[in-house]
Each structure stands twice: as structure tokens, then as C-alpha cells.
Amino acid sequence: ANVRRYLQLTQSELSSYHRKEKQLYLGMFG
């Protein structure tokens, strides 16, 4: 259960991180 929760947390963290990266990229080159 801990591993599954950890993976879920990591996935959500990564998705939010990539969203910020995309916003930053669009802000600089958009």
C-alpha cells in the first residue's frame, strides 16, 4: 500500500511539475 501511495504521489507531483514547465516554456517562447 505504501509503494502504491508513493507512486501515486510521485505521479501527481510529476504531472504538476510538467505543467509548470510547460507554462514556463510557453511564457518564454509563446
If we measure between CA atoms, which residue out of 15, 23, 28 comes closest to residue 7? Answer: 15
- pLDDT value, residue 1: 74
- Return the beta strands (E) in 1-30 as ranges: none
Whole-model pTM: value is 0.49
| Residues 1-30: tens digit of each pLDDT | 799 999 999 999 999 998 999 999 999 887
Domains of the chain, residue spans: 1-30
